[in-house]
Structure 1
Amino acid sequence: MHSHPNARLTQKGRLRLVSQHLEQGRSLRELATENGISLRCAYRWLARYRSGGPVGFPRF
């Protein structure tokens, strides 16, 4: 899978972050900090997952 040069996480990493939030109940703020992304970005990925499932994460 290709990722753009500034991406902090790959598609798998984004899915893992969202899964940890939904399945383990971890806070998005905590996960965002651990992964070096903004809280806004984490919410964006969560919204994409909710609207399209794993397919909602585009590949770059």
Structure 2
Amino acid sequence: MHTHANARLTQRGRLRLVSQHLNHHRSLAELAAEAGISLRCAYKWLARYRSG
């Protein structure tokens, strides 16, 4: 998969963010801040994960 040159997260990073939220019950806002992305973006990746 090609990742945009300015992308903050790779596919692995997005999966880590979602799994930390779902499996370890960490706040999505906290994870987004750690990753350097907006909360809106974090919710976008979570929704995409859930949709398959």
TM-score for the superposition, normalised by structure 2? 0.95
* C-alpha displacement of 1:6: 1.3
2:15 maps to what in 1? Answer: 15
1:26 aligns with 2:26: yes
Cα-to-partner distance string for 1:8-54 (whole Å, 9 max, x where unaligned): 010000000000000000000000000000000000000000001xx
Count residues with an aligned counterpart. 52
Cα distance in 2, alignment partners of residues 2 and 16 from structure 1: 18
Q: Aligned-residue CA RMSD in angstroms?
A: 0.8
1:57 maps to what in 2? Answer: none
* C-alpha displacement of 1:2: 2.8
Larger RCO (alpha carbons 8 Å, 6+ apart): 1
1:50 aligns with 2:50: yes
Where does the alignment leave 5 or more consecutive residues of structure 1 unmatched?
53-60
